[in-house]
Amino acid sequence: MVTDAEGFFEVAGRLAGTYEVRPDAPGVPALAVEVPAGGCVEASPAAVETARLQGTVLTAAGEPSPGTEVTLITAAEPSDRERTKTDETGLFVFPEVPATGYLVAVNPDGPLFPWDPPHPALYHSGAGEASGATPVTVAAGTTTTLGALVLGEPLGTRTIRGRVAWADGRPLGNCSVGIGRPGRSGTRLGAELDSDGRFEASVFLDGTYLVDASHYEGYERNGFAEVQVEPGGEDVAIELLLAPVAD
């Protein structure tokens, strides 16, 4: 919804339940509201004083790293995140953030797929994991400038390749393949099949990946494989066999 000229908004309908009102405006925190059955409730999120947080990202060679995504994580609520990218000088700026504690990171969840920066996770103070990072507390009305975040050497990639077929070995067309990490269902890499049902995809990190295939006619993922990518290891080849989709 969009507020009017005086900042008011209204939603009508059968809305009994708990909601979060999250304004898309700097310095205005979300507000939780409980709507009673058959009743109304007022929700008026209010702005708080904000601060400015900035810093630079450098490559392992000490050069500016332009276009690198930096994530600002609220220390008390790690799911509350804001992102920005560095400019041509490697500078990043969060111009208006609530005055609280933050973790600042590049690739906080690790680089998994080709669209991620190909570097290990890095937090302010040089830690590779959130547990070792030093929170940064900003005060309202001030500008906090961090020391440079120096990226590690770019990671090499591994290739997961495979073939999707029916249980009798026939190649499978009209199918999609997804590759992701356990517990990261919202982040998956899609791979296309060729005429023989073969696919390949590149990943950065070692560890366990889940590969699934689904036939469009069935609209269900009915082929699964768990793949272990070893440190310094070779590319991984797998085969997914799908059972026929029931009528």
Q: What is the 3-state secondary structure (H, E, C) of 167-180?
A: CCCCECCCEEEEEE
Which tokens hold the place of 58?
Answer: 């450098």
CA–CA dist 128, 106 (Å, integer): 10
CB 65 within 8 A of CB 90: yes
CA–CA dist 170, 244 (Å, integer): 11
- Other C-beta atoms closer than 10 Å to the C-beta of 79 total 6
CA–CA dist 90, 24 (Å, integer): 26
CA–CA dist 124, 139 (Å, integer): 18
CA–CA dist 159, 165 (Å, integer): 20
CB 209 within 8 A of CB 229: yes
Q: Which domains does the chain have, with CATH numbers?
A: 50-150 (2.60.40.10), 158-242 (2.60.40.1120)
CA–CA dist 196, 205 (Å, integer): 28
Which pLDDT belongs to residue 136?
Answer: 96
Residue 214 CA, chain-centre distance (Å), reads 23
Spell out the residues 6+ positions from residue 188 whose beta carbon is closer than 8 angstroms to its own. 178, 179, 180
Which pLDDT belongs to residue 184?
Answer: 66
Binned average pLDDT, 10 residues per bin, the chain of 247 residues: 85 87 75 87 79 95 94 92 95 93 91 75 92 93 94 85 81 76 72 83 81 66 70 75 55
Report the SS3 class of residue 130: helix
Which pLDDT belongs to residue 92?
Answer: 98
